[in-house]
A and B are shown apart, each in its own frame.
Chain A
């Protein structure tokens, strides 16, 4: 009797484990060639926290001075004057994390089972603020850029996936010369000073991916060519 229980227990445990593991497998991305680190702790991206996330060098790109373009992520520091300001030191280029800015992140808060909801099941006011101008220009559908099976990821042409924080990998597929300039320093903005660690903005920080062109605006006042006289007689 005792021998039967001692055999059944590990077996049943193993069975339970197998079932649970299969269900967990659904949560894993189907692609095992992912090159981007996966976020393990979602709370680490709360604004105000500084988290260093390891990343591999992005192959083929050179940063300024022919350095390998390595990317690490840092969260936004709301204490700074501009909401996008943060920074300090060390060697590599840091990228500003994009996802804290996304109002509807994480996607799984709406998308059940991480799949893109099909048209007839679409919630009426979801993503209504997005005007798909860039998709219209390029003839793209939502699934061209967003991985259909997991909306937290962007789908690259090579089959790889990139998180939303590393959207530059997606944009660079077409905008390779701009991406090259961005890695080197001729495109985009540097967030810290000219000295020390280089912290840059990502593509989405300036360009709305669905409507990338900057809006025209009325400029600051023009100079007066004729000198304004003071209180002189």
Chain B
């Protein structure tokens, strides 16, 4: 007989718990399949599964190819062209936006420098507005790369400064000073990135490959000038306000969970144009140019004005100077 293989009957004195009861294989299989059926039913009831459209299929494929691509620095020209085509196509399909993404590399013999005149800045924040529009910054989160600080005359102390002023400017007895990414010559943010998603280009702009960034935010902790921003939620820019003139390393559409920052409007400056902030400033407080060109205005300012930089003692060598009239 098969008595020795019969399942042990539950006994009142049995101290095994429910979890230790033995069932035979057939019953166990039945329980499992029943559970799977119930679970599948519940899942399909919660999530409507529709047949995939061609567009959805294409988006899936493009998204997959984008996911498995490597670091921008390690791509060949062909691969860069392909990823840009994919990104442009994704922008068209998902948002209906016609964008043009450049992959222009740095011009030889160019090193960008920036000078800010704290006598001239009146706190208008035209630069902030221009930057938001030019760089497709998240409107919902209100991301701003540029900070304008209002300080009392007499002391340059950021601890006592206020960037949240909202009154008529310039206010009596105060002066104004703006910060953004200073594209330091020895950037602490580049050093600390664990995946090498941020690096400095030959023309001095520190850039981020948004698709390579894992969002650990170590670079944000490392920046002494609070220049970096994180996408805490999916960034939202109304389609009508998207600036279609984009650069892969600059103002193209970023995604949730990655870091971004000012890139000196890389899509403009590599074409010989001024960054949007310098162009928008109505008082002429912003001077931008090529540090390697002795006949540039930035070189004139450095040679003829008394300039200083923030946190000089940290030896980050920022390429952003302040001067007065």
Contact = CB atoms under 8 A, between A and B. Distances in A.
Q: Is chain B found bound to chain A in the same assembly?
A: yes
A165 B148 CA distance: 35
B234 interface: yes
A226 to B, nearest CB: 10
A206 interface: yes
Interface stretch (A19-27, A33-41, A127-135, A210-218): A210-218
A88 B97 CA distance: 31
A63 B303 CA distance: 13
A194 B299 contact: no
Nearest to B302: A186
Interface string B235-250: 0100000000000000
Contact of B140 (A214, A222, A230): A230
B74 interface: no
B141 A227 contact: yes
B260 to A, nearest CB: 15
B296 A185 contact: yes
Contacts of B301: 184-186
B272 A220 contact: no
Given A184-B304, A185-B297, A230-B234, A220 B128 contact: yes
A122 B232 CA distance: 66
B244 to A, nearest CB: 15
Contacts of B294: 65
B147 A214 contact: no
A211 to B, nearest CB: 16
Contacts, number: 123
Interface stretch (B98-106, B214-222, B278-286): B278-286
A190 B272 contact: no
Nearest to A178: B325
Interface string A167-209: 0000000000110010011111110011110100000001000
Given A223-B147, A230-B234, A217 B304 contact: no
A219 interface: yes
B290 A186 contact: no
Nearest to B232: A227
B308 interface: no
A193 B273 contact: yes
B210 interface: no
Interface stretch (B65-73, B117-125, B151-159): B117-125
Given A193-B273, A219-B124, A223-B164, A186 B305 contact: yes
Contacts of A65: 293-296, 299-300
Contact of B233 (A221, A222, A230): A230
Given A194-B273, A220-B125, A230-B141, 5 more contacts: A63-B295, A64-B297, A185-B298, A223-B147, A227-B141
Interface string A52-72: 000000000001111100000
B297 A186 contact: yes
A31 interface: no
B273 A187 contact: no
B289 A218 contact: no
Contacts of A225: 164
A35 to B, nearest CB: 24
A220 B124 contact: yes
28 contacts: A64-B297, A181-B304, A185-B298, A185-B300, A185-B301, A186-B297, A186-B301, A186-B323, A187-B284, A189-B281, A193-B272, A194-B288, A194-B289, A195-B272, A214-B122, A216-B169, A216-B170, A217-B124, A219-B165, A219-B166, A222-B166, A223-B128, A223-B144, A223-B164, A224-B142, A228-B141, A229-B232, A230-B236
